[in-house]
């Protein structure tokens, strides 16, 4: 009889895994708290829906235009395939089409949130402040004026859109890899989208504190599981037509709570219990 001995796991391995899972769940609960506050307040819901509706109309119009001209655009992008055998010409153009539309969807979904937050900056700042009062969170900050705050919002929105475009280009290239790319690219797109949404939704609190995008990214990296727990359901729900009208204001509240947990992590466990998240 042969006895197989396995190496003992490090003492902190299981504890670290438990912390990661609990942090992921806590991030999802942050979004759930946002839904709870928004759905119980028709006034906040109405305030948050208007900018989201305007952004949806603009971006859906752009995506519709892209789909309308996609055939000509794909042909223009692949002139080298004109003399290929029919099977390979169709294969490469289908792959390019999937990558193009997929990349546009990623840019559109992330730009939608950035554009919505830019259009509705003062409205979402108000929603964040109301959420802070209801959750008993410290709403003090640098106290920047409205003009300065709007300038920061514009700068951050442009930066995030550029990040989304850069990510979409990488995903476009990944999507061109036969077979593997068609599976890998959508998964990477969801993870990338979830992270960028986390960067966007902590904006009202972090802007108030004077933190730029790079600083946000470095701080959120220390709470990856929690950020992804918040960002993944937010991103996936934003892909559902019309749902964005409710998801965005709810995510603003959830992002406000997430930002406070990141900025003040020491009492996070007790605060989570007190706020029911």
Q: What is the pLDDT along the chain (277 residues), one digit of tens a residue?
A: 444 444 455 555 555 556 688 999 999 999 999 999 999 999 999 999 988 888 888 888 887 887 788 777 888 888 888 778 888 888 888 888 877 877 777 777 767 777 887 788 788 888 988 988 988 887 665 555 555 666 666 777 778 778 877 887 888 788 777 777 778 888 888 899 899 889 888 988 888 877 888 888 899 999 999 999 999 999 999 888 788 889 999 999 999 999 999 987 654 444 454 444 4
pLDDT confidence of residue 18:
63
Residue ranges making up the domain that contains 171: 48-263
| Residue 34 included in any domain | no
The 10s digit of each residue's pLDDT in 73-126 is 888 888 888 778 888 888 888 888 877 877 777 777 767 777 887 788 788 888
| Residue 269 included in any domain | no
How many other CB atoms are there within 10 angstroms of residue 206's CB atom? 24
pLDDT confidence of residue 141:
58
What's the structural domain count of the chain? 1
Q: Rounded CA gap, 207 and 212, in Å?
A: 7
| Residue 14 included in any domain | no
Please count the CA atoms within 13 angstroms of the CA of 76 that sit on its side-chain side. 6
pLDDT confidence of residue 269:
42
Q: Rounded CA gap, 201 and 220, in Å?
A: 12
| Residue 90 included in any domain | yes
| Residue 15 included in any domain | no
- Angle of helix 42-77 relative to helix 121-135, nearest 10 degrees, comes to 130
* Cβ neighbourhood burial of 22 (10 Å; 0-12, 13-18, 19+): middle
8 Å CB contact between 133 and 139: yes
| Residue 233 included in any domain | yes
pLDDT confidence of residue 61:
83
Q: How far is CA 51 from the centre of its chain?
A: 17
Residues 6+ apart with CB under 8 A from 242: none
* Cβ neighbourhood burial of 38 (10 Å; 0-12, 13-18, 19+): buried
pLDDT confidence of residue 271:
47
| Residue 238 included in any domain | yes
pLDDT confidence of residue 275:
47
pLDDT confidence of residue 151:
67
Residues 6+ apart with CB under 8 A from 202: 216, 220, 255, 256, 258, 259, 262
| Residue 271 included in any domain | no
Residues 6+ apart with CB under 8 A from 31: 230, 233, 234, 250, 251, 254
Q: Rounded CA gap, 40 and 96, in Å?
A: 45
């Amino acid at each position: 009889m042969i006895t197989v001995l396995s190496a003992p796991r490090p003492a902190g391995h299981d504890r670290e895994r438990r912390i990661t899972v609990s942090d992921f769940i806590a991030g999802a609960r942050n979004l759930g708290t946002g839904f709870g506050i928004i759905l119980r307040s028709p006034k906040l819901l109405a305030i948050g829906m208007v900018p989201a509706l305007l952004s949806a109309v603009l971006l859906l119009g752009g995506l519709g235009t892209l789909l309308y001209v996609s055939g000509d655009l794909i042909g223009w992008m692949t002139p080298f395939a004109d003399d290929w055998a029919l099977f390979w010409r169709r294969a490469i153009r289908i792959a390019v089409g999937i990558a193009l539309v997929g990349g546009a969807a990623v840019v559109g979904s992330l730009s939608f949130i950035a554009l919505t937050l830019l259009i509705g900056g003062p409205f979402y700042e108000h929603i964040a402040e109301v959420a802070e009062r209801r959750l008993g969170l410290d709403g003090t900050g640098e106290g920047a004026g409205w003009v300065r705050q709007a300038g920061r919002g514009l700068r951050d929105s442009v930066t995030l859109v550029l990040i989304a475009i850069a990510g979409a280009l990488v995903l476009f290239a990944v999507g061109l890899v036969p077979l593997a790319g068609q599976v890998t690219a959508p998964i990477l797109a969801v993870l990338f989208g979830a992270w960028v949404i986390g960067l966007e939704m902590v904006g009202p609190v972090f802007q108030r504190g004077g933190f730029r995008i790079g600083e946000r990214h470095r701080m959120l990296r220390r709470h990856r599981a929690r950020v992804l727990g918040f960002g993944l359901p937010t991103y996936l729900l934003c892909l559902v037509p019309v749902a964005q009208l409710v998801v965005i204001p709810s995510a603003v509240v959830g992002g406000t709570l997430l930002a406070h947990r990141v900025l003040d992590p020491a009492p996070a466990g007790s605060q989570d219990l007190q706020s029911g998240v």
